[in-house]
Amino acid sequence: MQEKYQKQGVMLLALSYEPQEKVAPFVKKYKLPYVVGDAAMETRDAFGIRGYPTMFLVDPTGNVAWRGHPDAVEPELEKLLKKKPPRGPGILSTGGAKSALKKADALYKGKKYAAALKAYKSIVKDFNGTTTARKAKKRVSDIVSDEELMASIRRAESERKAERWLSTARLLAANGAANDAARYYRRILKECPDTDQARQARKELKKITG
């Protein structure tokens, strides 16, 4: 649930009865994508919790908007988000944006330009309004304005597309669907003529069409 709603500024907080020295290593080891605290007993008494698990929804003003079993929380959360949307992206959203930017930068440094461009565009869309989104937007602009990089990206995309079509054509040909296979071979020749797959397609098409 955390990943689904964190882009809308929702923070998930879990509380444990274990002391901090036990909670912290557990959170780090399993990379839990939410905050885990160690004040469960005090919170239990303050909120009058009698059953487990119990979940609370706290609105942007700090008031408890709902309490109940976690299985029933999503419809209530949807209603609360419409009625009282968060005032900002939230610290977890900010953390998620920075993590996404770090991954996108790693793709770029690894010369996986098509994947990096896609990742940067996703950050701009998913974390709109954040400083990280503005950084990602600048990186998108830099890539798009670089003709050599864009040519590399188009080649990579063309090769991936041609590879998928070539696999489909071969599968169809192997199962006796020569006419359908020929359509995929011709699609490769038309849309991806400069790829290695096009050269293979030309040879294989000739075999099934005579």
pLDDT tens across the length of the chain (210 residues): 556 666 666 778 888 888 778 888 888 888 777 778 876 777 788 778 888 888 989 887 778 899 999 899 999 999 988 888 765 555 555 667 888 899 999 999 999 999 999 999 988 887 777 889 899 999 999 999 999 999 999 998 999 999 999 999 999 999 999 999 999 999 999 999 999 999 999 999 999 987
pLDDT of residue 87: 59
Q: What H or E segment, with its residue span, contains residue 66?
A: strand 64-68
pLDDT of residue 167: 96
Residue 1 is predicted with a pLDDT of: 58
11's tokens: 């923070």
Nearest to 160 by CA among 124, 115, 125: 115
| 185 Cβ contact partners less than 8 Å away, ≥ 6 residues apart | 165, 166, 169, 201, 202, 204, 205, 208
67 DSSP β-pair partners = 56
Q: What integer pLDDT is reported at residue 173 of this predicted model? A: 93
Residue 93: per-residue pLDDT: 59
Strands 64-68 vs 55-58: parallel, antiparallel or unpaired: antiparallel
pLDDT of amino acid 6: 62
State the burial class of residue 52 (Cβ atoms within 10 Å of its Cβ: 0-12, 13-18, 19+): exposed
pLDDT for 138 equals: 96
Decide the pairing of beta strands 35-37 and 13-15.
Answer: parallel
pTM of structure: 0.49
Quick one: pLDDT at residue 204?
95
Question: What integer pLDDT is reported at residue 7 of this predicted model?
Answer: 60
Number of Cβ within 10 Å of residue 119's Cβ equals 22
pLDDT mean across residues, the chain: 86
